[in-house]
Chain A
Amino acid sequence: MLLPFFEWCEATMIGRTIRESLWMFPVLEAIHLVGLSLLGGALLVVDFRLLGVGLKDSTIAVLDRQARPWMLGATALMLGTGVLLFLSEAIKCYYNTSFWVKILTLPVAILFTLLVKERFARTAQETSTASRFVGATDLLLWFIVAAGGRWIGFS
């Protein structure tokens, strides 16, 4: 049912251009990885704090407010490069289990971060059972997204 959509993606001008270029895919991958570094850092400092480790001298709310613009910017960078990478090999992705694990977990992770974690962290001060749960869930969701993403290239 979804296959025609994936075929259409692969046939787009952008998808074709990237696929036929020698260097565009590798460069996009490299930028995608720089995005992973930034996103990982921005997520981890807050998640660690929610778990009660790392930058413990600051309150959760202060850290979260400072990290948020970088988290959002890095997410935008990853989505932008990710969509381009996908367009260049959409049909391969369609038949790739890791891709589906990643792409189905991604909206859950984004929604959890924006709707649950950010709302919670905005007003939270110190580590609590609730904050530990939020931090651990956020880490787990993004770990699945990242691991699934890396594994697309192996399967």
Chain B
Amino acid sequence: MINSFLEWLGSTAWSVRLLESLWMWPLLESTHVLAIALFVGSAMMMDLRLMGVTFGGVRASDFTSRLLPWTRGGFVVMVITGVLVWYSNPLRYYHNIFFRVKMLLMVAAGLNIWLFHSRTHKKIAQWDMDAPPPRAVRLAGILSFAAWTLIVVSGRLIAYNWFDCDIQPQPGWVNWASGCILPAE
């Protein structure tokens, strides 16, 4: 059902137009990549502060109040451009193994953010200038840094079709992980 929906989505006029566009697709993709500097970049600086690796003289709450709006702004740009790039070829991305890994990592990164904000961040006044920050804070920073690094890497690799369903034969686990529907022998 998902497949037929995505096939239909990919056949809509705007999707076809986007995929075949000379300028629009590269512009969206470039905006997506350049916004990494703003979004992942500022998130990583915050992570380094939470890990206690650098920005020792800067309050952690400075990052979560004054820098975070910029990080969020960058995230909005990434999501909009990302969804549009996905919309240009939804079925292909859905079955791309790197895209799937990236989406799972985004869920993991989101969970980590949610845990941090619903627990550790509530008591920020108690550890705002601690050097090094408490263990739970450092752990949140490390997990976030690792997740975004892997998300950037897997995002870049989506461009490669090494494990796509139309490239066969593949090991069984690759076809399973990509959700490939293979014609019966």
Contacts and interface: CB of A to CB of B under 8 A. Distances in A.
Interface of A: 22, 26, 29-31, 33-34, 36-45, 48, 53-58, 62-63, 66-67, 69-70, 143, 146-147, 150-151, 154
A41 B37 contact: yes
Given A26-B157, A44-B42, A66-B57, A33 B62 contact: no
A53 B42 CA distance: 13
A37 B148 contact: yes
Contact of B54 (A30, A40, A69): A69
Given A36-B36, A147-B30, A57 B45 contact: no
Interface string B35-50: 0111011111100100
A150 B36 contact: no
A146 B30 CA distance: 9
A54 B58 CA distance: 12
B152 A37 contact: yes
Given A55-B62, A70-B48, A33 B42 contact: no
Dominant SS among interface residues on chain B: helix
10 smallest CB-CB distances across A and B, nearest first, come from A40-B37, A41-B41, A40-B41, A37-B40, A30-B153, A41-B45, A154-B26, A30-B156, A66-B55, A150-B30
A150 B159 CA distance: 14
Contacts of B63: 55
B160 interface: yes
A150 B37 contact: no
B56 interface: yes
B37 A44 contact: yes
B170 interface: no
A92 to B, nearest CB: 17
Nearest to B37: A40
Contact of B67 (A30, A45, A70, A147): A45
Contacts of A53: 70
B99 to A, nearest CB: 14
A146 B159 CA distance: 19
Interface string B66-80: 110010000000000
Nearest to A142: B37
A54 B46 CA distance: 12
